[in-house]
Chain A
Amino acid sequence: MELAPLLQYLISGLTNGAIYALIALGFVIIYHATTIINFAQGEMVMLGALSAISIYHLYPSLPLAFLGGVALVTLVGIVFERLALRPVRDPNPITLIIITVGGAVFIKGVAMLLWGKEAYSLPSFSGDAPFHLGTATILPQNLWVLGLTAVVLLGMEAFFRLTLVGKAMRACAYNPRAARLVGISLGRMVQLSFALSAALGAGAGILIAPLTLGVYDMGTMLGLKGFCAAILGGLGSSFGGVLGGLILGVAESLATGLISSGYRDAVAFFILLLVLFIRPQGLIRGGS
C-alpha cells in the first residue's frame, strides 16, 4: 500500500469528520438539556450554508455572510423549539421523533421553494491555492474547517465549564428538578440549547459549503451522519461526539478510496448499526 493516497484520504476524512463533530455536538447539547433527539439538526446545516451564500450574493463579505448565516439559523432554531416542541402536551419519544422528523422535512421543503434545486457555491475563505504535504494536497479551506472547529469546540468547553449560564445548562442536564429548585429557568435553558445547536449546525454548513456546494437536500445526510457520530461517541459526552465525528469521517474516506465510492454513505450507517448492536452506550460512556 502506498502512503501517498492514504495521507490524502486522511486529510479529507478529518475535514469531513470535523464537520460531523460540530453537528454531533449540536445533537449532544439538545439531548443533554431535553433528552430529545432533534432530527431537524441536519436542516440547520443546510440553512446555514444556503443563507450564508445568499447573504454573500447580496453583499460580498465572507465574515458578514458567516455571522449573518449563523444568526439567521439560530433564530430558526429558537422559533422551531417555540412553535413545534414547546406546545407538545404528551412528550413521549415516539411523538417527539415524529415532530422533529416532520420539522426536518418541512424545513427542507421550504428551502426547496426558496432556493430551488440548484447547487450554489461559496468562495473559499482564503483562496484556492493548494499547498503540498509530501504527495498530498491540502486546500486552505481544509485548514479553515479544522482550525475553526477546534476553536469552536474549545469555546464550547469553556462555556460549559466556566460561565454561569453554561454551568446552569449542565445542571439542567444532570437533574432538571434540582436545577429548577435553585432558580434555573428550565424553559430558558432548553431554548438556549436549541439556539446553540442551531448555531453550531449553521457554522458547520458554512464551513463545508466552499468544499461541497450548498443544495437544499444536503442537510439530511449530514444530519444523520452527525447523529451517527454522536451515537458512536456515546450521546452524553461532547468529547465523545468529536471523537466519533473524526473516526466516522476517516473511516468513510478510507472506504471511499479503498473500496468503492458508491457505498460511501452506507459506511456511516453500517458503523451506526454495529455500534448500536454491540456497544449502544458508545465508545465513551455518557454522563455529565
Chain B
Amino acid sequence: MNPRKFLNPWVLFGAAALLTAGVLDNDYYLTLINFIGIHALLVVGLNLLMGYGGQISLGHAAFFGLGSYTSGILTATYGVNPWLALLAGLVVCGVTAFLIGVPALKLRGYYLAMATLGFGIIVYIFFTEAHKLTGGPSGLAGIPSLSIGGFKLDTPKRLYLLIWPVLGVILALSANLVDSRTGRALRALHEGETAAQSLGVNTAKLKLLIFIWSALYASLAGSLYAHTLNFIAPSSFGFMFSIKLVTMVVLGGMASIWGSLLGAAVLTVLPEILTMFHDYEVIIFGAILMVVMIFLPRGLVRGLKDLWEFRRYKKEGGIIG
C-alpha cells in the first residue's frame, strides 16, 4: 500500500485525539466524545462482520450487554478486580459467540439475521428477569471505576485518556486485519461464498472467526461502558440498540473502518444537538436505514463522493455507460 495514503488518516486521527486531550476541558463534551469512542468500538466490530464478512447480526447489543453485565456483576457484587472482570467478559462473550456461531453461521442471509435477533431478545429478557444477578429492570448500580496503578479513571478526561487510545489500537488492528490474508479471504467471502470456497478459503471457519472477533470488540466496549457510567440497566441493551448499531454501520458505509468512526460520531452527536430528535429518533433511524440502503448503498462518505464524481464526469461530457 502507498505509505502516504496509509499515513494520512492515522496522523489526522492521532493529532485530533491529542489536540482534544490538550485543549478540551469540558466534562459534557468529553463524556460525549467518550461515548462516541465506545460506540465506535462496537461499530467497527459489527462492520467487520457486515461489511467484510457479508453477515448480519441483529443482536449485537447482546454481546455489548454480556460484556457490560459480566464486568458490572463481578466488580459491584463480588468485588473482583475490574481488569480481571474485563477479561472475564471477553471470555464469556467469546464462548457465547462460539456457541451461537457454530450452528448459526451454517445458515445464510435471513436465517442468521433471525438467529442473532432471537439470541439478542433472549439475552435482553434474561437481563430483565434474572433479578438476583442483574438487578432486574431497575439496573445494577455501584460499579467501581477502573484504575491504573492507583490512578483512578473516574473523570471524563481520565476516561478519555483510556478509551481513545484503546479505540486507536482497535482501529489499527482492524485495518491490519482487513489488509491481511484473512481480510482478503473475508472480502472474497463477501463477494460470493461459493467462489471463495473454490479458491480454498475455509468459509465456515472464517465466518465463525469474524463473528467471535466482533463479539469480543462488543464485550470490550461493554466493559468500558459499565465502568464509565458506573450503572447499567437492561434498556441500554435492547433490540433498538442493535438497530442503532446497524444504522451506524450503514450510515458510515459498510466495509469502511473510518466510516464506522463517522457513523458512530454522527449518530451519537445528532441526538444531543437536536432536542426534537428524541421524539423522532425512531423515525429518523428508520428513514436513514431505508434511504441510505436504497440511494447510497456504499454509505455516506463514498456515496457522496461517487455522486460528486458522477456529476463532474457528466459535466466534462463523459458518456455514462
CB distance from A89 to the nearest CB of B (A): 8
> Are A93 and B109 in contact, with the CB atoms below 8 A?
yes
B115 closest partner in A (C-beta): A276
Chain B nearest Cβ from A260, distance in angstroms:
8
Say yes or no: A105-B118 contact (C-beta < 8 A), given A98-B250, A98-B289, A276-B111: no
Cα–Cα, bound, A227→B250 (Å)? 24
User: Which B residues, 218 to 264, have Cβ-Cβ distances below 8 Å to chain A?
Assistant: 239-240, 243, 246-247, 250
What residues on B are CB-neighbors of A98 within 8 Å?
A: 56, 246, 250, 289, 293
The interface stretch among B11-19, B25-33, B202-210, B280-288 is B280-288
The reply to whether B286 and A106 contact each other, CB–CB distance below 8 Å, is yes
Given A105-B243, A108-B282, A273-B115: A94 in contact with B121 (beta carbons within 8 A): no
| One of A87, A113, A277 near B283 (C-beta < 8 A) | A113
Interface residues of A in 183-216 (CB under 8 A from B): none
The verdict on A152 contacting chain B, using a C-beta distance below 8 Å, is no
Of the listed stretches A2-10, A15-23, A262-270, name the one at the interface; the rest are far from the partner chain.
A262-270
Residues in A with CB closer than 8 Å to B117 are 224, 269
C-alpha gap A67/B4 in the complex (Å): 65
Q: Are A87 and B111 in contact (CB under 8 A)?
A: no
Which residues of the partner chain B approach A88 to less than 8 Å between Cβ atoms?
293-294
Whether the Cβ atoms of B128 and A262 lie closer than 8 Å is yes
Q: Is A44 an interface residue (CB 8 A)?
A: no
From A101, A106, A112, B246 is in contact (CB under 8 Å) with: A101
Main secondary structure of the interface of A (DSSP, over half): helix
Please report whether the interface of chain B is mostly helix, strand, loop or mixed according to DSSP.
helix
Check if A272 sits within 8 Å of B297, measured CB to CB: no
Mask, A220-255, CB within 8 Å of B = 1, is 100010011001000000000000000000000000
State how many angstroms separate the Cβ of A215 from the closest Cβ of chain B. 14
- Report the nearest B residue to A31, measured CB to CB: B110
State whether the Cβ of B122 lies closer than 8 Å to any Cβ in chain A. Answer: yes
Query: Please, how many residues of chain B have a CB less than 8 angstroms from a CB on the other chain?
Result: 46
B125 within 8 Å of A by Cβ?
yes
**How far is the CB of A217 from the nearest CB of chain B, in Å?**
10
- B239 — which chain A residues lie within 8 A by C-beta? 220
Does B108 count as interface, using CB distance less than 8 angstroms? yes
Question: When the two chains form their complex, are residues A102 and B293 in contact, meaning their CB atoms are under 8 A apart?
Answer: yes
In the complex, what's the smallest C-beta–C-beta distance from A173 to chain B, in angstroms?
16
Contact A102 B115 (CB under 8 A): no
Query: Is A93 within 8 A of B286, CB to CB?
Result: no
Q: Are A107 and B286 in contact (CB under 8 A)?
A: yes
Q: A95-B297, A110-B283, A270-B122 are in contact. Are A277 and B290 (CB under 8 A)?
A: no
B9 at the interface (CB under 8 A from A): no
Which parts of B118-149 form the interface with A (CB within 8 Å)? Answer: 118-119, 121-122, 125-126, 128-129
Query: Is A265 within 8 A of B289, CB to CB?
Result: no
* B290 engages A103 (CB within 8 Å): yes
Indicate if the CB atoms of B104 and A97 lie closer than 8 Å: no
Taking a contact as CB atoms under 8 Å apart, the answer to whether B294 and A269 are in contact is no
In the bound complex, what is the Cα–Cα distance between A105 and B281 (angstroms)?
10
CB-based contact A94/B290 at 8 Å: no
A258 surroundings in chain B (CB, below 8 A): none
Q: Which residue of B lies closest to A276 (CB)?
A: B115
Q: Is A227 within 8 A of B114, CB to CB? A: yes
Please report the C-alpha to C-alpha distance between residue A87 and residue B296 in the assembled complex, in whole angstroms.
12
Could you tell me the distance in whole angstroms from the C-beta of A153 to the nearest C-beta in chain B? Answer: 24
Q: Which residues of B, 285-312, contact A by the 8 Å Cβ criterion?
A: 285-290, 293-294, 297
Contacting residues of chain A (62-115) with chain B, CB-CB under 8 angstroms: 84, 87-90, 93-95, 97-99, 101-110, 112-113
- Mask for B167-211, Cβ within 8 A of A = 1, else 0? 000000000000000000000000000000000000000000000
Please, how many angstroms separate the alpha-carbon atoms of A260 and B125 in the complex? 12
CB of A263 within 8 A of CB of B125, answer yes
Q: Does B279 contact A (CB under 8 A)?
A: yes
| 5 A–B pairs (Cβ distance < 8 Å), ordered by A | A98-B289, A99-B294, A109-B280, A224-B117, A270-B118
Q: Which residues of B contact A (CB under 8 A)?
A: 50, 54-56, 58, 103-104, 106-111, 113-115, 117-119, 121-122, 125-126, 128-129, 239-240, 243, 246-247, 250, 279-290, 293-294, 297
Of all A-B residue pairs in the complex, the 3 with the closest CB atoms, nearest first, are A102-B289, A106-B286, A109-B283
Q: Which residues of A contact B (CB under 8 A)?
A: 37, 84, 87-90, 93-95, 97-99, 101-110, 112-113, 220, 224, 227-228, 231, 260, 262-263, 265-266, 269-270, 272-273, 276-277, 280
Apart from A103-B286, A105-B289, A109-B282: 17 A-B pairs, beta carbons within 8 A:
A98-B56, A105-B240, A105-B283, A106-B290, A107-B286, A110-B283, A112-B282, A113-B280, A224-B117, A260-B129, A265-B125, A269-B121, A270-B118, A272-B118, A276-B104, A276-B111, A277-B103
